[in-house]
Amino acid sequence: MKQFNVPVGYRSPLITAVKQYRKQQDKLKKDDTPTLLDMGDLQIYLARHFGFCYGVEHAIEIAFTTIQSNPGKRIFLLSEMIHNPQVNADLLAMGVQFMQDTYGKQIIPFEEIQSDDIVIIPAFGTTLAIEALLESKGIATAKYNTTCPFVEKVWNRSEQIAEKGYSIVIHGKPKHEETRATFSHAAAVTPSIVINDMHETSELAKYITGEYTSDGFYEQFKGRYSEGFDITKDLIRFGVVNQTTQLATDTQAISDYLKSVMIKKYHLTADTIDAHFADTRDTLCYATNDNQTAVTGMLQTDADLAIIIGGYNSSNTSHLVELCEEKLPSYFIDTPERIISKSEMVNCNWRTKELNTVTHFLPDKSPVKILITSGASCPDAVVEGVIRKLASLYQVEEQVDTLIASF
């Protein structure tokens, strides 16, 4: 896989050593057990896979190269390039201006953009309408497009099944940048609708089967369907794709459920299922899948708590927290500074995004066993920073350097 030029400040000697060692020992990625960092009273278990993915490194390289190659030019990002506070803060410090917030609220009007400005499209992609607007102003969108290749894979898959007469059901968070972009691309070629979770899937199924009359659909799913969408005929034949950072198990469950609804409604068999339900295969990105699988493997370890590191508006990171908290106390932080002392830390509720101070999060025992992972947009340097902060609380920070040399 291609290697990208990522600023050295985002790298970590410890994490690089661990990842290289695991790659050499497990080239086929069959071993999902975590890596033990044994520091005596403190034992940290690092997930098999975590941190920067292909799409994030691809986006960072394009963005930083663009800035370095265009001194004096005004450079804009449509929104946060990735959901990581450190990276976005660095871009702002280098003079990049964000045009929209995470939810699409305009910060800088498009009217202020001039043809000699640079506008970078973030890793999540953008809508066809915004792309067309930028191009009408003479902006070279293709030159500074950091859209993740795995997001584009979902768009391509949607187009492929649309050509065969299928509508599209998108499993995604309706307000997320990627979902908005995917919906735009899908809706341009076929009737499309966004569903957020299994509850909404169940509700949608009742309109498909006729249990609910069509009248209520347009209010219940307002803002989620393409223009001219007809619930009485546009879900007779469809396929399911997803926001690439959703929980793989959730997407699979939604797809399986809707497939079963269609089988029952139309009395389908294995030979006739494709008459009403498209085989979209898994459109989850490889990194999301690897990170979630690694967390499942990590959770087999007998541990006291888990710490998950990443941006608070990062969808893929939130899902890692969701997986961990099913098994043991789990804490969501974005920087090492959230850990204040052995008895105090600032935790983020992954559902509400509210911050709250947690006391006595580290048990009074020896050794303390902590599971650690991070989201796909979290720099390895931040993970090492968290490990060093924990090590300092147990007066074993010098052992981190010893561990680097041991791999």
178 is a catalytic site residue = yes
Q: Which of 57, 131, 178, 200 is catalytic?
A: 178
105, 129 Cβ separation under 8 angstroms: no
Q: Please report how the helices 315-325 and 286-298 are oriented relative to each other, as an axis angle in degrees rounded to 10.
A: 20
Strand partners, 171: 195, 242
Q: Which residue has the tokens 């974005």?
A: 334
Amino acid at position 335, single letter: T
Determine how β-strand 97-98 pairs with β-strand 75-77: parallel
Q: Provide the edge-to-edge strand list for the sheet that holds 42-46.
A: 35-39, 42-46, 368-374, 305-309, 330-333
Three state DSSP letters for 230-253: CCCCCCCCEEEEECCCCCHHHHHH
What's the rounded Cα separation, in Å, for the pair 83 and 313?
Answer: 6
Q: Does residue 401 sit in helix, strand or coil?
A: helix
What's the rounded Cα separation, in Å, for the pair 63 and 80?
Answer: 11
Q: What are phi and psi of 368, to 5 degrees?
A: -90, 130
Q: Does residue 399 sit in helix, strand or coil?
A: helix
How many other C-beta atoms can be found within 10 angstroms of the C-beta atom of residue 73?
Answer: 12
**Catalytic residue list:** 178
